[in-house]
Structure 1
Amino acid sequence: MGRVTARKPVLRIRDGRSTTRPDTLTVEEPMELRVGGRPLTITMRTPGHDFDLAAGFLVGEGVVHGAGDVAGIRYCAGATAGGTSRSESGGGGNTYNVVDVALAPGVAAPDASLERNFYTTSSCGLCGKASLDAVRTQTTWAVADDPLRIPPETLATLPEQLRAAQRVFDSTGGLHAAALFTSGGELICLREDVGRHNAVDKVVGHALRGGALPLRDTVLMVSGRASFELVQKAVMAGIPMLAAVSAPSSLAVDLADEAGLTLVGFLRGSSMNVYTHTERLAPAPVGQPSASPVPVPPVDQYLSLP
């Protein structure tokens, strides 16, 4: 089982006085994702919920669309990220840093254009023509007609709920979070990671493995800014609203507008900016309640493997 935190010595200076003490830091390690034994990408992530991370990444790239598309996910015993063997790396046992996804019969392997034989940083992920084309041509579910309606007062409660549930952040101060909420403002699932995009992948992968896609009538809340890549992942999972505590990028707004997703930025207390599809920020018409959310696996124990 991979560690999510580590203790390191630090020189602390406060008001001209210095002390040496251990500090709790977030662990960042590489995880290599393989599909059918073939390396696809390496991402820097916080260990924990690695199978969700792998599944969610493949949803975002348009490779899988439901639980039935995945035959199995496993750790590769004796392998380390980057292709070295256990004996070559000098370690013992399973490092939990190489994950292999077996696709179900009939599910096409990832297109060669998606192969990324280099590191994807935890800070920004990677997006480009392949990802953009996947959103425009491979989206399984349209979010433009999603019936989600949520009052601004309910939306305003989400940042505090997200922050209160960030257990590892409390000890390290160095993790992003992504959380899925119902239209009634109830927390469904939360994941933490050093990378915003990884946290979202873990949420989406959790839903996919539970057979809950598409995530209609839900809101995805993220702790940082709203990038193009996060909008992409939300759309590919069938999520109709993405809310962030910080700013969106111009490309994120363009994609959200095109896809029919409601994008909210600077969500802090009762203040927020709604950039696209503002009609969802209102109660449902009298006599026409919003659709019941799809059944999603409940919040489970944080950062347990796989």
Structure 2
Amino acid sequence: MMTKNNDAQTSPDDIPATVESSNTVSCLTMSDLSKKTQLSSNIMESLSLSSLTPLARTHLTQKHYYLSAKCNDNYVNQPEIENQPASLAVEAAVAIVINGIHYAVLMASPHQLEYLAVGFLFSEGLIQHSHELIDWEVTQLKDIASYQKFTQYSFRQDSSRQDSHVKNPTNESVESEAFEQSLISLQDYDIYVVELVLNQRCHQRIQAQKRQLAGRTGCGMCGITGLTQALPDLSSYRQDIQQVKANIPSLGYLLEIRRQVDTMQHTHQLTGAVHAAATMHNQQLYLFEDVGRHNALDKLIGWQLRNKMEVECVLMTSRLSIELVQKSIRGRVPWLVGMSAPTSTAVRVAERYGLGLAGFLRDNRVTYYSGI
């Protein structure tokens, strides 16, 4: 039975509200509620940081602007200055620990972390089915004691590798001081640990593929060593291109998905800093947001695996880069559609493995690149 640790939510005000209406699954923060009820800026400004969910926080900003849209070349007009609060997306460090092995650190939005972890493991080729995940637990590191518990073992391991033969009281003192300093610096970050228990077969895969990965927000490949890991052979996931062509999504269908995404992408409306992956299933919209576009897609794939869903089309609110295409091919997604352009490499790989690809989904148009 799957269990979830509630340490990641310290108070009722910190818990994201999951909206499950007739047409969407998304995340609605307290800030969204404030926005929807059109509270005054004074009330919004009075909200303390602790009253917001981890998805967004309010920061004081200073906006400089000209009253006229057109200014002369010398900018002789003095700009207006306005102090105002702004909601900014939280970018958390999410440590993935598999069967006790510290496998990866992802920078992501701290919501739907189970789906993120499952989708990430599937995209990495470490699991093939949801049932291979036996148990899971999410913990937020929020004080020095929790930092010590999580980091001390790996820090000592690193230190022992550097000086495995020399034991010196001076060295130990320096190492202890460096360790304490590293704990202090962690207080600048939101840190979550997702501990996963996989079955024995998966554990063997992990041991064969063990590596340390530092995932950056903008790139799903950062930290991967070895071309064969970054550019895998996906022949076993190749789809029937004729079937993909026969099920090409219509422009009207895609524009309707986009309309619903624009309406329901609450965190993006609030912060302007997150991407989304969305799909329609039984005429319902399922939406997953994250500061990283590849994380948003991993969340959707994780949801798909956990609920044994088959999707016909996935819409991304971003450009279509190679890692999104690779994840979609592994997830056997027939069509991947973006609001911006794909890269040339993404199109070539999509054509090779039978993935339908479309981009530039705008007010009245879409461009198909493969599967046509």
TM-score between both structures, scaled by the size of structure 1: 0.78
Q: Name stretches of at least 5 consecutive residues in structure 1 with no aligned partner.
A: 279-306
What does 1:1-306 align with in structure 2 at a 5 Å threshold?
Answer: 1=9, 3-15=54-66, 16-76=79-139, 80=147, 83-84=150-151, 89=183, 97-111=192-206, 114-126=209-221, 128-133=227-232, 135-137=234-236, 139=237, 142=239, 144=241, 145=243, 148-182=247-281, 186-212=283-309, 215-216=310-311, 218-278=312-372
Q: Name stretches of at least 5 consecutive residues in structure 2 with no aligned partner.
A: 1-8, 10-52, 67-78, 154-178
**Amino acid of the residue matched to residue 288 of structure 2?**
R
Tell me how far apart the structure 2 counterparts of residues 77 and 102 of structure 1 sit (CA, whole Å).
18
Task: Sort the Cα spacing of 1:155 and 1:273 in 2 relative to 1 into closer, same or farther, 3 A.
Answer: same
**Amino acid of the residue matched to residue 136 of structure 1?**
S
Give the corresponding residue for 1:294. none
Tell me how far apart the structure 2 counterparts of residues 188 and 173 of structure 1 sit (CA, whole Å).
21
Deviation of 1:153 after TM superposition, in Å, equals 1.9
**Amino acid of the residue matched to residue 120 of structure 2?**
F
Q: Secondary structure at the match of 1:31?
A: strand
Q: % of aligned pairs identical? A: 26
Tell me how far apart the structure 1 counterparts of residues 105 and 123 of structure 2 sit (CA, whole Å).
15
Contact 2:322 2:345 in 1 (8 A): yes
Task: Sort the Cα spacing of 1:77 and 1:269 in 2 relative to 1 into closer, same or farther, 3 A.
Answer: closer
**Amino acid of the residue matched to residue 138 of structure 2?**
Y
Q: Secondary structure at the match of 1:208?
A: helix
Tell me how far apart the structure 1 counterparts of residues 120 and 279 of structure 2 sit (CA, whole Å).
16
Tell me how far apart the structure 1 counterparts of residues 271 and 331 of structure 2 sit (CA, whole Å).
30
Pairwise CA RMSD:
2.9
Q: Which protein shows a greater Rg?
A: 2
Q: Secondary structure at the match of 1:197?
A: helix
**Amino acid of the residue matched to residue 164 of structure 1?**
T
Q: Secondary structure at the match of 1:84?
A: helix
TM-score between both structures, scaled by the size of structure 2: 0.65
Task: Sort the Cα spacing of 1:116 and 1:108 in 2 relative to 1 into closer, same or farther, 3 A.
Answer: closer
Contact 1:114 1:130 in 2 (8 A): no
Deviation of 1:96 after TM superposition, in Å, equals 6.1
Contact 2:116 2:295 in 1 (8 A): yes
Task: Sort the Cα spacing of 1:36 and 1:142 in 2 relative to 1 into closer, same or farther, 3 A.
Answer: farther
Deviates most, 123-132 or 243-252:
123-132
Tell me how far apart the structure 1 counterparts of residues 200 and 133 of structure 2 sit (CA, whole Å).
9
Deviations 1:158-192 (A, max 9, x none): 2222121101111111111110124x8x3441111
Task: Sort the Cα spacing of 1:224 and 1:77 in 2 relative to 1 into closer, same or farther, 3 A.
Answer: closer
Q: Secondary structure at the match of 2:201?
A: coil
Q: Secondary structure at the match of 1:123?
A: coil
Deviations 1:14-68 (A, max 9, x none): 3211122221100011111111110111111111111110000011122212221
Task: Sort the Cα spacing of 1:6 and 1:149 in 2 relative to 1 into closer, same or farther, 3 A.
Answer: same
Task: Sort the Cα spacing of 1:76 and 1:153 in 2 relative to 1 into closer, same or farther, 3 A.
Answer: closer
Tell me how far apart the structure 2 counterparts of residues 81 and 204 of structure 1 sit (CA, whole Å).
33
